[in-house]
Amino acid sequence: MANVKELMQVRNEKLQKIKEYGINPHPEKYDTTHEIGSSRLLADGTQKVSLAGRIMSKRKMGKISFLDLSDITGHIQLVIKRDDLGEEEYKKFHEITDIGDFIGVKGYIFTTQAGEKSLQVLSYQFLGKSLRPLPEKYHGLVNQEAIYRERHLDLIMNDEAKKKFLLRSKFVKLLREFLDNHGFIEVETPALQNTASGATAKPFVAHHNAHDMDVFLRISPELTLKKLIIGGFNNIYEVARDFRNEGIDSNHLQDFTMVEGYSAYWNYEDNMKFMKEMITYILEKLYDGNLNIQIGDKMIDFGGEWQVVSFRELILKDSGIDIDQFETAESLLAEIRNKKIELEAENIEELGRGNLIDQLYKKVSRPKIIEPTFLIKHPIDLSPLARSNDENPALTDRFQLIVNGQEIINGYSELVDSQEQEKRLIEQSKLKAQGDEEAMTVDYEYIRAMEYGMPPISGWGLGVDRFLQFLTNSQNIRDVVLYPLMKPRDLAADEEEDNSKLI
């Protein structure tokens, strides 16, 4: 089998042949009547159908040839006859085209005796040469790093990848549709911020040359969105790209898509009901009314009652530790070690009580939650931006939606007392100074805005990547992101060690 360099040389020679024939190898445009997926729905005999796409297979049988033409919406068989094109054009077609090339075709729809919906091609136009050969058809890309790095190849070769990312786009569209239809206004807020605030996470730091100062890539748009509630908006949301400089694992990304929404005059219980309505609306649209969703070997029912459980009850049941009995991080950590529970955090000794409780929950409880479950009554030191519960100030009016061991939505009644907020953020900044890199800093601009007065507010955040990971039963969250960040590769070495199986 020829190597990549030799095959590319042959294709470059074909490109030169195209130019010699007087054909523009890079035409300006091509008018189509349908995308390929919708063309398969046309009735037999439909005339003047114009399609464009990439050649995925090519089989010549004397005076007739069969091709597979593909775009993001699907595949269709092309049938090309020498008698339809003329002998010279038929010969030229095979001289200049390769698998991977783009062509435009015109003809009529019919179904073969084998039941294959096809286009009888009456004319064609060359639209683009694939100088680099595609991976072998039946294996595609098998190296996971190559799949992430060259998602375009994954989309070309893998129909399941196409379906997954079309599902992602439809999910975001339906989410926007639901919120827009319920009176929410979509807004945009800055990704570069003066303080790393809005969530407990380690930030990315960048330098702003014009102002000669360091800035942070936002870890959340939360505080900026709540300033807009102060400014008079009632119901708002943002589809935001967020950045958290944390470890890599199968469920976390450093840059990810989060949707956050805030409503004036609501509390967290209002949002729990609203979130259930939103999720069931989206799933019904995605799955044709079905709310029993197959995830791997599990059938998850979104149509029934969603369980509600308190943070303390859950951890007590799963670990035997009553977190209310341990008021400091030191005493809680001692009890965790006494129970021989191994937590996965690297800086375990430096965590504040809130983040330590969170690590305990993620270890002993979250993986066991399969059916849609609202987790409520989080300790206040785990939720520095949430409103204290009126009956028990040590707890917050917060909820998390957990499904199949993953947090899907986080929300709460917002803290709107500026003095209490400043006090909590100062406590967070002390933890940060002691080494807890995920603790927050004090955002005095936000405190100043709060001092103009805030109504009751409830907000929520939904991780788009994580929810799609769940829906598609993907092992790694990067499987549902088009181009996750990868370390640079040595392209020269890669060329030398190209193990792809080629068409």
pLDDT higher than threshold 70 for residue 495:
no
CB-based contacts of 440: which residues, under 8 Å, 6+ apart? 196, 197, 199, 200, 384, 425, 428, 429, 432
Residues 244 and 388 in one domain: yes
Percent of the chain with pLDDT over 90: 76
| pLDDT tens, residue by residue, 266-280 | 999 999 999 999 999
- Name residue 492's amino acid: A
Residue 366 lies in a domain: no
Residue 362 lies in a domain: no
Residues 59 and 169 in one domain: no
Residues 242 and 378 in one domain: yes
Q: Which domain holds residue 417?
A: 163-306+371-471
Residues 416 and 454 in one domain: yes
CATH number at residue 437: 3.30.930.10
pLDDT higher than threshold 90 for residue 61:
yes
In the predicted model, what is the mean pLDDT of residues 148-171? 94
Residue 400 lies in a domain: yes
Residue 155 lies in a domain: no
Q: pLDDT confidence of 137, banded at 50, 70, 90?
A: low
In the predicted model, what is the mean pLDDT of residues 331-354? 87
CATH number at residue 56: 2.40.50.140
pLDDT higher than threshold 90 for residue 205:
yes
Residues 289 and 172 in one domain: yes
Residues 25 and 110 in one domain: yes
CA 100 to chain centre: 28
Residue 219 lies in a domain: yes
In the predicted model, what is the mean pLDDT of residues 204-228? 94
- Nearest Cα to Cα of residue 271 among 387, 368, 421: 387
Residue 330 lies in a domain: no
Residues 115 and 181 in one domain: no
Residue 57 lies in a domain: yes
Q: pLDDT confidence of 503, banded at 50, 70, 90?
A: very low
Indicate the DSSP class of residue 395: B
Residues 125 and 175 in one domain: no
pLDDT higher than threshold 50 for residue 499:
no
Residues 210 and 284 in one domain: yes
Least confident of 252-256, 340-344, 388-392, 459-463: 340-344
Look up the pTM and report it.
Answer: 0.88
User: What pLDDT shows up at residue 496?
Assistant: 57
User: What pLDDT shows up at residue 435?
Assistant: 79
pLDDT higher than threshold 70 for residue 254:
yes
pLDDT higher than threshold 90 for residue 296:
no
Residue 343 lies in a domain: no
Residues 62 and 172 in one domain: no
Q: pLDDT confidence of 251, banded at 50, 70, 90?
A: confident
Residues 22 and 104 in one domain: yes
pLDDT higher than threshold 80 for residue 497:
no
- Name residue 438's amino acid: E
The secondary structure element, H or E, covering residue 274 is helix 268-286
Q: Which tokens go with 50?
A: 């114009």
Number of domains into which the chain is organized: 2
Residues 360 and 341: beta-carbon distance below 8 Å = yes
Higher pLDDT, 385 or 76: 76
Residues 284 and 177 in one domain: yes
In the predicted model, what is the mean pLDDT of residues 330-344? 91
